[in-house]
Amino acid sequence: MTNHLDNMAVILAKRPEGLPNPDDFKLENRPLGDRLSGQVRCQTLYLSLDPYMRSVIAGNHMGHGVDPGDVIAGEVVARIVESDDADWPVGKVVRCQGGWQQFTDQPPEALSRVPAALSRPSLALSILGMPGLTAWAGMVQQAKVREGDMVVIPAAVGGVGAMAAQLCKRAGATTIAITSGSEKRRIATETLGYDHCIDRIEDDLAEALTRTAPNGVSVYFDLVGDPTLTTVAQQLSIGGRVVLCGLIKDYNGDHKTAGPHPGLWITKRATVTGLVVYDYESQRQVFEEEFVPLAEAGELVANEEIHDGLAAAPDAFCDLMRGRNHGKVVVRVGE
Ligand X SMILES: NC(=O)c1ccc[n+]([C@@H]2O[C@H](COP(=O)([O-])OP(=O)(O)OC[C@H]3O[C@@H](n4cnc5c(N)ncnc54)[C@H](OP(=O)(O)O)[C@@H]3O)[C@@H](O)[C@H]2O)c1
E strands along the chain, which residues?
8-12, 25-29, 40-48, 76-82, 93-96, 103-106, 112-113, 150-153, 174-179, 196-199, 217-222, 236-244, 271-274, 304-308, 328-332
Minimum Å distance from CB 197 to ligand X? 10
**Between residues 25 and 317, which has the closer beta carbon with respect to ligand X?**
317
Inter-residue contact 37 to 129 (CB < 8 Å): no
* Closest residue to bound ligand X by CB: 158
- Helix %, strand %, coil % for the chain, to 5? 30, 25, 40
Residue among 144, 146, 224 at smallest CA distance from 180: 224
Q: What is the dihedral of CA 310, 314, 320, 325, to 10 degrees?
A: -50
Q: Shortest gap between Cβ of 41 and ligand X (angstroms)? A: 29
CB of 51 to ligand X, least distance (A): 4
Q: How far is CA 279 from CA 80, 159, 275, 291, in A?
A: 27, 18, 8, 19
Q: With the C-alpha atoms ordered 241, 247, 249, 254, is the resulting torsion angle positive or negative?
A: positive
Q: Rank residues 201 and 266 by Cβ distance to ligand X and give the closer one.
A: 201
Report the residue number, 121 or 246, with the smaller CB distance to ligand X. Answer: 246
Q: Which is nearer to ligand X, 115 or 159 (CB)?
A: 159
Residues composing the chain: 335
Closer residue to ligand X in complex, CB, 122/325: 325
Residues in contact with ligand X by CB under 6 A are 50-52, 131, 134, 154-161, 179-180, 184, 200, 223-224, 245-249, 275-277, 320, 322-323, 325, 328
DSSP 161-204: HHHHHHHHHHTT-EEEEEE-SHHHHHIIIIIS--SEEEETTTS-
Cβ neighbours, 10 Å, residue 197 = 23
Identify the burial level of 233 via C-beta atoms within 10 angstroms of its C-beta, where 0-12 means exposed, 13-18 middle and 19 or more buried.
buried
Nearer Cβ to ligand X, position 50 or 105?
50
Shortest distance, CB of residue 52 to ligand X, whole angstroms?
5
CA distance 185 to 163: 16
Burial code (b: 16+ CB inside 10 Å, e: under 16) for 6-22 equals ebbbbbbbeebeeebee
Least spacing, CB of residue 246 vs ligand X, in Å: 2
To the nearest whole angstrom, how small is the minimum distance from the Cβ of residue 56 to ligand X? 11
Is 80 or 162 the residue whose CB approaches ligand X more closely?
162
Nearer to ligand X, 35 or 184 (CB): 184
Shortest distance in whole angstroms from residue 181 CB to ligand X: 7
Min separation Cβ 50 and ligand X, Å: 5
